A and B are shown apart, each in its own frame.
Chain A
């Protein structure tokens, strides 16, 4: 836990100062606040004409009087106002500093995570999964920030208050202070006991909650199926049973939590009654001067202060347990080492688009035993077009992702332009190798802004050219806002085929030496698919092109076709050669024969 706090606190950066400032303020504020009940006690003593002593019986400020001395009252009033003013100012100061520090640490943690993730390799991203990274960066950071905000002030204030109040109580009467010493640990123990008892149930409840929300999400997504099959009642009863369970657990927890307030009241009422009784008894036994009226009333106020600080401490405690898991998840992100980095003297230029695989073997980190590429050897001359076919899981995408160094080979060497990909500057390499990923994504913003990802300095002319080649300009031009059309997040307002064509255009704008189309035209009709391939062939003859496809049609005209199966290239050759030599390829051709595609896009 402490290690965790230290690690997270490192993220404070320039806000560290604010934490110290907050602490200094809190310290002063607490002392002022502790002093005030004593002052009011003195005031009572002055009003009653009793002796006013400075904590110890030997330090008499004002002796007993028969009448009220107004000047004493005025002096006390001024001191009290000053004390209260200091308390208010330092309190606000502490509040400001704490606000700055906690917002600052949230800001810095978010920033550190985001920056770190930018350095992640595909391997690192695979390890966490995107949804888990998103949760860590949103909910978890918010939890930690909230806990920090509470802790900065309360962690110092509550124990200080507790200790000071006890100390002051002892100076007034050790017999009465003993009441605190007995009751505080007792109540404290129960408060923490309750917090520990209910916390795991809350964790369970919130997991169930996630499950419930998952159900709602599925229901919304599958609302057509639910309605088509008339299954509303079934969905309702499923929902109700989880909902009922959550309700029961909540009530169970509330039954326990409801003890918190009564427990604190036991302390407050019990202690005050005991102080009254014992106080009276002590005065009766040891004489009137033993304990002043003011001391007694101020002790009664201290009870409230102690009660409040105990309560706050237990709340802080709960907040910290909640934040602990979040903190751990954040640290995991920050401590993950990106496993693909530039070498010391990187090559800054890619000469040509030749691609070589020399005995390349690869396995994903998640399943290191299972080699997904086995001893791949391959030589592709610059400017050729390579088709890749094979069933799902035959590692077509994996093979191609090695070229842009999205993953590093476990064994063997991948070369681009005759140079080991690990010797290139990563940015240089990826600028020359343009990958259109299978699971491709467009971002919210205009079409143009999305295309500029490929080359931020591209002119309108170049953009138009790339879109022509990707057969995208025809539909873009039909949108009322053309290139300024705003895409929703994930590009959900364009059809699948349009999305794919935009992605191809974006990749072309990079002017790459190698272009990788990983199943990038699956939603494009066969006619357009052929047109795009034609353009690429004629207008970018020097670019080495890799085309992964399920359709035989898409790869049929390639210079060479690789047939992959289970991480190996089982056959290689032209369409004509493979029909005779490759059983897998021949099968593929057979099943697709006569299978046209009627999902033509206009």
Chain B
């Protein structure tokens, strides 16, 4: 048995370094794969910010000062001023059109860039996951792995396509507004910045507190959802045991906690907008008051007097809004971005996990016999295979694929400090049938996992056709082994697709052939669409026995010389069970077979039986020999056989 899964608590903390690293990685992706979109969108953001800030400047410095005030002061100049207005309308109109086009493109380009990057990250995530060693999957629950796809990838997408454009826009807005403020009037500019500092710290504080509560809320939500899931899944048991009241009590506790945290988190978050808005208004008021005082005593200001007029004030009233709003927006996005980066860090942690190493160089090739009966490599499928073994001196030798498997003194542990298999030696000649029997946890499945190198041995040697399996390329090694596992996993798709999984270029005839061999043809033909019946959700619409029949056909179609079979222990009804057994028996013929046996007839028909206990082979021999020996096997046999 592999070690039990350590469920990494989802809410595990992600360090700041990991987040910083993640942000760099994401940028690197964007620049590498979408350089045009990336830089063009930044250019567009700058364009739109300039248009925005020019509109503020225009209203105060041009419209109020150059149009409105002269118009009011000299009503007779009306026509001339209107001409000027018309000219400005055309200029500003073009600036606005430019700005609007920029806004469209930065929104679109940035989202495209984000979605594309996101897609790449997702694809790489999946592709990399395929290459990870099985031990990676052993130590993580499916739920944890899935949540990288369902939660982390999603929050990242949301943040990249919604929050990120906003952040960039806000950042550039603040920058351009600051520049224009200083150009217009540096005294007011300093004033606005000074007035913004307290607001900045306030929003930062609120964001931090609400962020904390949002994390708490997520934890509480996770707990509540977990409880609901467990209880609803066990709802029938709840009913049978009259456990409704208890289960409600447990639920109420979690639900109340969730409500509390969620209220807290949102209360903090909800204070942000009113405060930011009114802080803007407060700035407005202070600016107005100061302006009024300055204008009143204009005469005593001397040379600085010209710096203050109503136009400047109107401009600043607008600019200060354009300055504070993005700061409020930024604050609102902070939490989303921090959460997304934490998710990204988890994604990158997976993609950075080293892949399964494959240092093998011996490959499996199609072959035909030469006049001496030795294999020669050929391109086309011949139905015969040979190991191609390149040597250091450049020579290449070929060995027929026969299916001889030998273990020499093999030790193995899922973790180095705990050896679970000790001194395993066994020799299987081509065509021989080896049965493993023994109690649960004796190491039966573990042995078979070493043959196909799902795990690497700690000590000793495993040879396949007298080649050390470490030298064989994993893909080719596994191709030469067929497997039927106890927990059959099929994939969404048609029955045909699922059988073809064993041999991608199989024709429909071959598929039917394999199904017939596996004894699956009859039930498949009875399905609503025969071989084209869709298997929903990994074949949950089939019975376990039927799934196993398809898995047998899937293994049969690959026609490997060596088969690893794990007989089902769970109850399937007798009729299907009989079919499954017949299927198993059929594909065992003429192959080297390792079978984890539960059925007496399978065991009896084996050439050699290995009795395992606590990771050691304690007895070996044929059925008759072992019975005569009167050991553990004898006990198992007599304890279980029918007594009548």
21 contacts between A and B (CB under 8 A): A40-B317, A94-B274, A95-B274, A125-B235, A213-B146, A215-B492, A216-B146, A219-B126, A228-B483, A239-B126, A254-B112, A259-B104, A280-B81, A430-B241, A431-B242, A434-B240, A453-B246, A456-B246, A490-B230, A598-B598, A600-B640
Which among A67, A84, A519, A523 is the interface contact of B296 at CB below 8 angstroms?
A: A67
Q: Bits for A265-285, please: 1 = Cβ < 8 Å to B, else 0.
A: 110011011001101110110
Q: Bits for B94-126, please: 1 = Cβ < 8 Å to A, else 0.
A: 001001110111011001100110010011001
- For residue B82, CB closer than 8 A to chain A, the reply is yes
Residues of B within 8 Å of A, CB-based: how many?
160
Complex CA gap A477/B286 in Å reads 77
Interface-central residue, B119, B259, B271, B637, by most chain A CB under 10 Å: B259
Report yes or no: A439 in contact with B68, Cβ–Cβ below 8 A: no
Complex CA gap A196/B239 in Å reads 44
**Which residues of A211-231 are within 8 A (CB) of B?**
212-231
Given contacts A87-B277, A118-B247, A437-B236, contact A489 B230 (CB under 8 A): yes
**Which residues of A97-128 are within 8 A (CB) of B?**
98-100, 102-104, 106-107, 110-111, 114-115, 117-122, 125
**Which residues of B572-588 are within 8 A (CB) of A?**
572-578
Report yes or no: B240 in contact with A404, Cβ–Cβ below 8 A: yes
Complex CA gap A129/B455 in Å reads 38
Which among B101, B146, B263 is the interface contact of A100 at CB below 8 angstroms?
A: B263
- For residue A234, CB closer than 8 A to chain B, the reply is yes
Report yes or no: B273 in contact with A91, Cβ–Cβ below 8 A: yes
Q: Bits for A580-602, please: 1 = Cβ < 8 Å to B, else 0.
A: 00000001100111111111111
Given contacts A73-B292, A77-B285, A110-B255, contact A489 B578 (CB under 8 A): no
Nearest CB in chain A: distance from B536 CB, A: 10
- For residue B190, CB closer than 8 A to chain A, the reply is no
Nearest CB in chain B: distance from A445 CB, A: 10
Q: Which residues of A contact B267 (CB under 8 A)?
A: 95-96, 99-100
- For residue B15, CB closer than 8 A to chain A, the reply is no
Complex CA gap A554/B225 in Å reads 39
Report yes or no: B82 in contact with A284, Cβ–Cβ below 8 A: yes
User: Which chain B residue shows the least CB distance to A125?
Assistant: B235
- For residue B628, CB closer than 8 A to chain A, the reply is no
Report yes or no: B289 in contact with A77, Cβ–Cβ below 8 A: yes
Across chains A and B, which 4 residue pairs bring their CB atoms closest together, nearest first?
A91-B274, A95-B270, A222-B489, A99-B266
Given contacts A276-B63, A293-B72, contact A214 B537 (CB under 8 A): yes
Given contacts A29-B274, A259-B104, contact A273 B93 (CB under 8 A): yes
Complex CA gap A440/B238 in Å reads 11
Q: Which residues of B contact A40 (CB under 8 A)?
A: 284, 288, 317
Nearest CB in chain B: distance from A116 CB, A: 11
Helix, strand, loop or mixed for chain A's interface?
A: helix
Q: Which residues of B contact A293 (CB under 8 A)?
A: 64, 68-69, 72, 310, 314
- For residue A553, CB closer than 8 A to chain B, the reply is yes
Residues of A within 8 Å of B, CB-based: how many?
166
Complex CA gap A230/B150 in Å reads 26
**Which residues of B261-310 are within 8 A (CB) of A?**
262-263, 265-267, 269-271, 273-275, 277-278, 281-282, 284-285, 288-289, 291-293, 295-296, 310
- For residue A240, CB closer than 8 A to chain B, the reply is yes
Given contacts A95-B267, A258-B107, A497-B440, contact A44 B313 (CB under 8 A): yes
Complex CA gap A441/B129 in Å reads 31
Q: Which residues of A contact B270 (CB under 8 A)?
A: 92, 94-96, 98-99
Report yes or no: B130 in contact with A33, Cβ–Cβ below 8 A: no
User: Which chain A residue shows the least CB distance to B286?
Assistant: A77
User: Which chain A residue shows the least CB distance to B575?
Assistant: A391
Nearest CB in chain A: distance from B525 CB, A: 19
Report yes or no: B600 in contact with A225, Cβ–Cβ below 8 A: no
Report yes or no: A261 in contact with B232, Cβ–Cβ below 8 A: no
Complex CA gap A235/B492 in Å reads 12
Q: Which residues of B contact A522 (CB under 8 A)?
A: 570-571
Given contacts A218-B489, A254-B161, contact A598 B68 (CB under 8 A): no
Report yes or no: B259 in contact with A288, Cβ–Cβ below 8 A: no
Q: Which residues of B contact A47 (CB under 8 A)?
A: 288, 291-292, 295, 310, 313
Of B23-31, B341-349, B420-428, B474-482, the one touching chain A: B474-482
Report yes or no: A243 in contact with B642, Cβ–Cβ below 8 A: no
Report yes or no: B504 in contact with A234, Cβ–Cβ below 8 A: yes
Q: Which residues of A contact B317 (CB under 8 A)?
A: 40, 297
User: Which chain A residue shows the least CB distance to B77?
Assistant: A284
Q: Bits for B76-98, please: 1 = Cβ < 8 Å to A, else 0.
A: 00110110011001001100100
Q: Which residues of B contact A145 (CB under 8 A)?
A: 262
